């Protein structure tokens, strides 16, 4: 598998196995199948695994810990996260450290290579467009981020518990301020898909423009990990899970309907939608690795085969960009 430049790690495999699928976020899978998926990723040359305590209430971290327990981890990189919320500045280090230590214990690791803020980064006076009642638990203000989160991350680095830190989710203006600050994140997770959609996780804003965040990272040369390549299933052949009963993922199901022309185009060029979507993300400039949301070996094999086909040519990329413009 291709190794790409990714500053925090030196290099990284072009595909990353994400924890959402193996943590049952994107539909049900068994623990045995999830472990088998990690093993296949490892044996296929994928050397980066991206998990979080929130994925399956710790299931993704448990699966990863079990799968990697007896393996040679010399070239393996692991990312985990913490949904910090907005505690008092004096409590930030303790919350981050406690979450991290639980993750390390679960995964049988002494450190992680990348630790990400898993909260929605927002300006101090910002109110969520939807679910504002969750603001305190799922949003982190810029003042907290600059005054307490960055110093806490740096302390965890000094203690040898993490190698690098980064961010990903949040309000567009807040993320741009963080990217252009005097101490920018060492890595960013950016939504990269032809729909230019962050889907359900963009609930805090009435409108979202993930490409704007991507462009800011490209301009500032911030290492990029691509998420939402298939936009939570919207850019695949079918949504193989039931809608959330509370309507949280309505945006993802709307995107599936919006993406019908994309599926038709994929058929015209003899590609599966998922393969085309992953190749699109891999073809975007400065993307270090594309994080996969697969939940089983069958889905992983499709992604590996897509990566082996190489980047999309200019004509296909141009047609996809036109298709996106026509869908706006």
User: In order of start, what are the domains of the chain with their CATH numbers?
Assistant: 3-327 (3.20.20.100)
- Short-list 45, 44, 41, CA closest to 60: 41
pLDDT at 328 exceeding the cut of 60: no
pLDDT score, position 260? 95
pLDDT digits (tens, 9 = 90+) for 130-157: 778 888 888 999 999 999 999 999 999 9
Mean pLDDT computed over 175-186: 98
Asked whether 143 and 177 are in contact (CB, 8 A), the reply is no
pLDDT at 326 exceeding the cut of 70: no
Q: How many CB atoms lie within 10 A of CB 93?
A: 17
Asked whether 189 and 168 are in contact (CB, 8 A), the reply is yes
Rounded to the nearest integer, the mean pLDDT of the chain is 94
pLDDT at 241 exceeding the cut of 60: yes
Beta strand 139-141 pairing with 120-122: parallel
pLDDT score, position 35? 97
pLDDT score, position 207? 85
273-282 and 314-327 are packed helices; what angle lies between their axes, rounded to 10 degrees? 110
What whole-number percentage of the chain has pLDDT above 70? Answer: 99
pLDDT digits (tens, 9 = 90+) for 101-122: 999 999 999 999 999 999 999 9
Mean pLDDT computed over 59-66: 97
Mean pLDDT computed over 40-48: 98
pLDDT score, position 244? 79
pLDDT at 266 exceeding the cut of 90: yes
pLDDT score, position 25? 86
Q: Please name the residue that has the structure tokens 């300006």.
A: 123
pLDDT score, position 203? 85
- Short-list 45, 34, 120, CA closest to 77: 45
**C-alpha to C-alpha distance for 121 and 317, rounded to whole angstroms:** 31
The two tokens of residue 116 are: 């990400």
- Banded pLDDT at 210 (limits 50, 70, 90): very high
What string of DSSP letters covers 294-307? Answer: --SHHHHHHHHHHH
Q: Please name the residue that has the structure tokens 């196995």.
A: 17
End-to-end CA distance of the chain: 35
pLDDT score, position 10? 96
**C-alpha to C-alpha distance for 145 and 140, rounded to whole angstroms:** 7
Q: Please name the residue that has the structure tokens 């430049």.
A: 5
pLDDT score, position 90? 98
What whole-number percentage of the chain has pLDDT above 90? Answer: 85
**C-alpha to C-alpha distance for 233 and 240, rounded to whole angstroms:** 8
């Amino acid at each position: 598998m291709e190794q790409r430049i990714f500053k925090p790690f030196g290099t990284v495999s072009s595909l990353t196995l994400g924890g959402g699928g193996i943590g049952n976020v994107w539909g049900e899978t068994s623990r045995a199948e999830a472990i088998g998926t990690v093993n296949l990723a490892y044996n296929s040359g994928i050397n980066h695994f991206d998990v979080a305590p929130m994925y399956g209430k710790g299931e993704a971290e448990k699966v990863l810990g079990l799968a990697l327990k007896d393996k040679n981890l010399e070239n393996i990189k692991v990312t985990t996260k913490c949904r910090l919320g907005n505690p008092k500045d004096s409590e930030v280090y303790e919350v981050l450290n406690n979450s991290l230590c639980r993750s390390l214990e679960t995964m049988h690791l002494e450190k992680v290579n990348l630790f990400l803020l898993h909260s929605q980064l927002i300006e101090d006076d910002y109110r969520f467009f939807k679910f504002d009642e969750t603001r305190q638990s799922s949003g982190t203000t810029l003042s907290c981020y600059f005054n307490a989160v960055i110093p806490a991350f740096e302390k965890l680095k000094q203690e040898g518990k993490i190698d690098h830190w980064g961010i990903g989710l949040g309000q567009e203006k807040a993320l741009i301020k963080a990217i252009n600050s005097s101490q920018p994140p060492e890595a960013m997770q950016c939504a990269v898909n032809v729909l230019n959609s962050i889907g359900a996780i963009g609930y805090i804003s009435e409108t979202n423009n993930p490409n704007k965040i991507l462009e800011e990272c490209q301009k500032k040369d911030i290492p990029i990990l691509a998420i939402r390549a298939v936009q939570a299933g919207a850019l695949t052949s079918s949504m193989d899970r039931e809608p959330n009963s509370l309507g949280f993922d309505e945006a993802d199901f709307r995107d599936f309907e919006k993406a019908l022309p994309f599926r038709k185009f994929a058929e015209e060029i003899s590609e599966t939608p998922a393969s085309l979507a992953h190749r699109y993300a891999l073809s975007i400039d400065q993307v270090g690795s594309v994080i996969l949301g697969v939940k089983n070996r069958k889905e992983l094999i499709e992604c590996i085969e897509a990566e082996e086909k190489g980047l999309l040519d200019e004509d296909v990329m141009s047609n996809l960009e036109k298709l996106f413009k026509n869908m706006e």
